[in-house]
Structure 1
């Protein structure tokens, strides 16, 4: 698939529950991303937020990763091939360096959010 054109309905991001509590580990698929860049940024921020939710005070990077693999959520861009963002490329950095607010703000990129709905909590981590 070309990086220049979104598939019909836009790019899709699949959210995976690493705890195994969801059937096939799939929590949901979010569609409607107009660009691959936006879908990749959403997936990256979603995982970054999930890592932070698994970070306990004083935890080592290894402990953060262990908690994420046990309780966190991963995200992958569907049908993007090599152009899709992959959590494995940045997990070590995420675990070693706590994130700031913007790095975790996946909601700002969520295509389900409307301009006048500032509190769309559908799909919130930890809900």
Structure 2
């Protein structure tokens, strides 16, 4: 394994990409501070899973769900992770064909910013 699995300075970052083209350069935001690549990958995967589920409507085929996602959804990529980073393209067909459980969609559970909110409460 030639990829560096250690977090870059400041932690791993995940870029959220607006597929509808509504954001400048299609980038909605970058979420930083992931302490390890496993958490960054899990966040990106759950974020995309949730985005696809928001495009799912009764009666749509898997192809129609993907079409809606590519038009209105959000993708996520782990920055600087190379081949070790999770890629949505590897799972899109499966995500569209099978509805997610609430746990599979819970990207907030992996969000490193979540701890900040809890401390303020």
Aligned partners of 1:58, 1:35: CA distance in 2, in Å? 39
1:2 to 1, 4, 26: 4
The TM-score, its normalising length taken from structure 1, stands at: 0.89
Unaligned runs of 5+ in 1: 119-127
5 Å matches for 1:59-98?
Answer: 59-98=60-99
Q: Which is helix-richer, 1 or 2?
A: 2
Residue 115 of structure 1: how far off its partner (Å): 7.0
* SS of match in other structure, 1:38: helix
Equivalent pairs counted in the alignment come to 117
The TM-score, its normalising length taken from structure 2, stands at: 0.93
Residue 114 of structure 1: how far off its partner (Å): 1.6
1:66–1:116 CA distance, 2 compared to 1 (3 A): closer
- Runs of 4+ deviating beyond 3 Å: none
5 Å matches for 1:26-65?
Answer: 26-65=27-66
5 Å matches for 1:86-125?
Answer: 86-114=87-115, 117=118
Aligned partners of 1:117, 1:61: CA distance in 2, in Å? 37
Aligned partners of 1:115, 1:31: CA distance in 2, in Å? 13
